[in-house]
Structures are given as structure tokens and as C-alpha cells.
Amino acid sequence: MRTVTIDPITRIEGHLRVEIQVEDGVIVGARCTGALYRGLEEILRGRHPLDAQRITTRICGVCPLAHSTAASLCLDDALGISPPRNGELLRDLIYGANFLHNHILHFYHLALPDYLPAGALPGALSPGTDEDRRFSTAEIERLAGHYLAALDVRRRAQELVALFGGKMPHDMAIVPGGVTNRPGPGDVAAFRFRLKEVVDFVRGTYIPDLLLLANRYQDYFDLGRVGRLLTFGCFPLEGDRLFPAGAVLDGGPEPLDPGEIREGLACSWYAGADLQPPWMEEARPDPDKATAYSWIKAPRYRGEACEVGPAARAAVALAHGPREFREIAGELLAEAEASPERLSSVMGRHLARGIEAMFIARAMEAWLSELDLSAPVAAAFTVPDEAQGRGLIDAPRGALGHWVEIADGKIARYQVIAPTTWNASPRDGAGKPGPIECALEGTKVTGDGLLEAGRIVRSFDPCLACAIQ
């Protein structure tokens, strides 16, 4: 048996160490280690409740809108308020732009180099692999050109966030009660113009490139599978969500029960009671804990390690989502010669991102037309001395939860469970591996397994800045 350590794994956000054991051409063991403690939950304790949104948006520069949104939903809940329709539309438009940015970033700049030869991409550090090459020279040139074009499109998507959100990263607009800014007609025209550029790129470039990859790497619909899925749903509008919440454990999607979420600490560098609900957790850093191997905790739903992210959203939305989603998904799954059961796989995750990028872009065009520039964008509120709240929403990488307890007008407890906390979690007290560990174990590999392990881990788009608080 050979042990291979990837430390750090590149082309993800933050410091993730992955260790695999390879025996007779199969990964027989895998461990994910989150190597950097952050401490944002500690920093929030004792502060004014409204600081939560301002501070948690700074958890991450890739998905800051996810934390703005989750913190605002959490405080909306604690304060007993809900935004007016215009405030919800603006929150969704800003957040939607962050989704589009993240998926284009992930496909072209983080994942695609895993399938291109070294030296194919511009730049002295051009990543790539000379193993398992399946593209022609003309296709490599096309993809390398789009790698560069995608940089410009990402800038456009960031400008969309800044137009309605004030700036990117760490927006100033999404706050408890709604948003701070009512755009004028010029802002809406500028947003529409840029959104069209991003939508044209998604439709005309990203989707064809994604289908090319999916068709050449059909076998990757069978690699890196997990199967147990969880989504909190996202894009709230008037009591509904564009993507429904749900879980897939044994059989078809079932409704989400947030009371079933627990955080395991058995293999994480924390002291405190194991498997507490997040609204009761009292974990303290314990870097000398002998049984631990990660700063990431181990969230579990009904005791199971669930994959979160685009595959989970697609699986639940295919069963219970809007007709337009099912149509786009049906079309792209057929073109990729894949089935819904294969979404929880390396190529399924890539495909699910493309499907939802198309769907979200179309929804954003409709939301923009629904904006009423004269209507209010925020609800008034007062901050109570005692309250509890939770904000559950899917981020681009999956289910994100914020929980707050307010006492004496201050934050007494704040908990964050981010998508990568779920996906890159270590084993729990029952010995069940986290989703990425599970996706790696049992994989047949060529050579030392680095190629397959890199492709599997990156298909989850891990973000360690989010995973550890």
C-alpha cells in the first residue's frame, strides 16, 4: 500500500490537505484535512447583532454574497422581519451574479486545467496534465482561448455585483430587512447590458465547452460518487424559493428538516460535546486533540455525511423544482448522455453547475424586469435584547447555515456551517467518512492516483476560507 499526500491541493480556495492510500490500483483510504483555523465565530461573540452581516461577508472573497445573504436571513428571522418584494428581488439579483461568477471561475480557471496538457494555457505557471489527454489540438486551442475570454466575463459578473451591491468583494447592500440601495434607471440599464454579455457567454461558450468535456470524459459520470445529498434551496421570493430545499438519503428527495442537523467533533481539533445542534454548540479549539486530523468539523444530517452543492440542488429541483429548470436540465443531461442518478459524480457536478448557470441567468433577466424602482427596498426593524435566528440558504458550493443567539442586545453565540464544512468534513464518531473522502475511496486509479484524486476533489470546488470558522 502506498500513501500519497497532496498538500496543499492547488486551484481551490485555501489550504486543503488530501491524503490517499492506494493499493492494487484502488484508493482504499482517504483523509481530508482543513489546515487553518479562522475563529470568526469567536470574534462575533459579544458584538452588536448587526455586525454579523458586516463581519461574516468577510469570511470569503469568493462567495461573500452567500454570507451576506445567510447572515441577513438569520437576522431577519431573529428580528421578526421580512424584506419587501423589491428588496428580495435585489438580493437575488446581486446573489445570482455571484453564482454566475463562481461557476465560470470554477469551470475555466480551477477545474479545466485538470483535463488540458501542461503548457496549453497562457502564463509561466500554466497548469495541466500530460496524462489521459482526450482533446485534439484544435480543441485545446479553443479551450485555452476561452480560458482567457472567461477572465473578462468574470469581470463583468463582478461588475454586476458592484452595480447593485456597492462593491465586490464584501458587498454593502444586503442587510437585515432587505438592501441599502435603490438603483436608478441608469443602474438597471448598465446591469441589463452586462447581464446579457454574461448570459451570451454562458449559452454560447460555457455550455458547449462543458458538453465537449462531458462527452470526452463520460467515464467521470461514474467517478467520485457520493449519493447522499442535501440542499437548503436558494433565491427566496415571497415565501418560495427558486431552488427547493430537500435531502436525498435512501430513495427520492424528501423535505428538509433543519432540526436534524448536528456537528460532529470526533476527528476535529475542538473540545466540547459531540454531535450538538448548531444552535447549542459550545466547541472550543483544541489543537492537541489526539483523535483529530482536521480543523473542519463534521456536520451530519440525520446522522449522514451529505454532499452539498450543484448536484444536490439539481437532484431536488428535478423532482420538485420549476418546469423551466426541469426542461433545461433534461435537455443538457440528454446532450451529455447522462441521467439524474449520475449527478453526484465528477462530471455530474460540472454539468449541474452549467445547468443552473443557464437557469439562474434566465431567472435574473426576469427579476430585473420585475423591479419597481419607486417601491421600498427594506423593512424597518428594532434589535431585540433576546432572540434566536437562523438563515439557511444554498451558496454556489452548497448548503450554508448561519445561527445566532442574541442575549442582552449582543451576540451570545454565532454558528456557521458552510458548504465545504459538509463536503470536506473528516470522519465522525461512527467512523463515517466525509463526502470528499467517500468520493475518493474505492476509486480505480492509474499510477499513484494523483490525477483522479485531483479531478475528484476539485469537482466539489472546495473553499477552506468558508469551511472553518
- For residue 269, the minimal CB distance to ligand NFE (Å) is 18
Q: Which is nearer to ligand NFE, 76 or 394 (CB)?
A: 394
* Residue 63 within binding range of ligand NFE, rule CB under 6 A: yes
3-state helix, strand, coil in the chain (%, to 5): 45, 20, 35
Site for ligand NFE in 139-158 (CB under 6 A): none
31 within 8 A of 426, measured Cβ to Cβ: yes
- For residue 15, the minimal CB distance to ligand NFE (Å) is 13
* Residue 297 within binding range of ligand NFE, rule CB under 6 A: no
Give the residue carrying C-alpha cell 476539485. Answer: 458
314 within 8 A of 440, measured Cβ to Cβ: no
Identify the residue among 401, 467, 468, 469 touching ligand NFE (CB under 6 A). Answer: 467
DSSP character at residue 245:
P
Q: Among 2-10, 62-70, 142-150, 440-448, which window interacts with ligand NFE (CB under 6 A)?
A: 62-70
* Residue 420 within binding range of ligand NFE, rule CB under 6 A: yes
Q: Which is nearer to ligand NFE, 14 or 264 (CB)?
A: 14
* Residue 396 within binding range of ligand NFE, rule CB under 6 A: yes
Give the residue carrying C-alpha cell 457536478. Answer: 349
Q: Which is nearer to ligand NFE, 22 or 437 (CB)?
A: 437
* Residue 352 within binding range of ligand NFE, rule CB under 6 A: no
Sequential DSSP letters for 3-68: EEEESS-SSSBS-EEEEEEEETTEEEEEEEEE-----HHHHHTTS-TTHHHHHHGGG-SSSHHHHH
* Residue 13 within binding range of ligand NFE, rule CB under 6 A: yes
- For residue 376, the minimal CB distance to ligand NFE (Å) is 29
Q: In angstroms, rounded to a whole number, what is the distance separating the alpha carbons of residues 349 and 111?
A: 11
CA 364 → CA 178, 187, 241, 359, distances in Å? 17, 15, 14, 9
**Residue 92 CB contacts under 8 Å (≥ 6 apart), including other chains:** 235, 236, 237, 242, 363, 364, 367
Residue of 285, 307, 280, 308 whose CA lies nearest to 296: 285
Give the residue carrying C-alpha cell 483544541. Answer: 286
Q: Which is nearer to ligand NFE, 94 or 395 (CB)?
A: 395
* Residue 400 within binding range of ligand NFE, rule CB under 6 A: yes
Q: Among 71-79, 132-140, 376-384, 393-401, which window interacts with ligand NFE (CB under 6 A)?
A: 393-401
Q: Which is nearer to ligand NFE, 262 or 402 (CB)?
A: 402
Identify the residue among 397, 413, 427, 455 touching ligand NFE (CB under 6 A). Answer: 397
Q: Which is nearer to ligand NFE, 116 or 314 (CB)?
A: 314
- For residue 467, the minimal CB distance to ligand NFE (Å) is 5
- For residue 428, the minimal CB distance to ligand NFE (Å) is 18
* Residue 395 within binding range of ligand NFE, rule CB under 6 A: yes
Identify the residue among 20, 22, 62, 404 touching ligand NFE (CB under 6 A). Answer: 62
- Cis omega before residue 253 (within 30°)? no
* Residue 418 within binding range of ligand NFE, rule CB under 6 A: yes
Cα 333 to chain centroid, rounded? 21
What cell was used for 363? 431567472
Length of the chain counted residue by residue: 469
- For residue 38, the minimal CB distance to ligand NFE (Å) is 11
Q: Which is nearer to ligand NFE, 420 or 459 (CB)?
A: 420
- Cis omega before residue 8 (within 30°)? yes
- For residue 424, the minimal CB distance to ligand NFE (Å) is 8
Identify the residue among 389, 391, 419, 435 touching ligand NFE (CB under 6 A). Answer: 419
Please count the other Cβ atoms lying within 10 Å of the Cβ belonging to residue 351.
28
Helical spans, DSSP H, in 218-336: 310-320, 323-335
- For residue 418, the minimal CB distance to ligand NFE (Å) is 4
Identify the residue among 52, 207, 406, 466 touching ligand NFE (CB under 6 A). Answer: 466
Partnered with residue 29 across adjacent β-strands are 21
- For residue 450, the minimal CB distance to ligand NFE (Å) is 24
Identify the residue among 16, 60, 97, 160 touching ligand NFE (CB under 6 A). Answer: 60
Q: Find the farthest-apart pair of alpha carbons in the chain and give their distance in angstroms, rounded.
A: 67
- Count residues near ligand NFE (CB under 6 A): 16
Q: Which is nearer to ligand NFE, 182 or 241 (CB)?
A: 241
Q: In angstroms, rounded to a whole number, what is the distance separating the alpha carbons of residues 355 and 369?
A: 22
Q: In angstroms, rounded to a whole number, what is the distance separating the alpha carbons of residues 287 and 451?
A: 32
Q: Which is nearer to ligand NFE, 60 or 314 (CB)?
A: 60
Binding map of ligand NFE across residues 65-84, x = CB under 6 A, - = no contact: -x------------------
Residue of 86, 94, 78 whose CA lies nearest to 174: 94
Q: Which residues lie near ligand NFE (CB under 6 A)?
A: 13, 60, 62-63, 66, 395-397, 400, 418-420, 463, 465-467
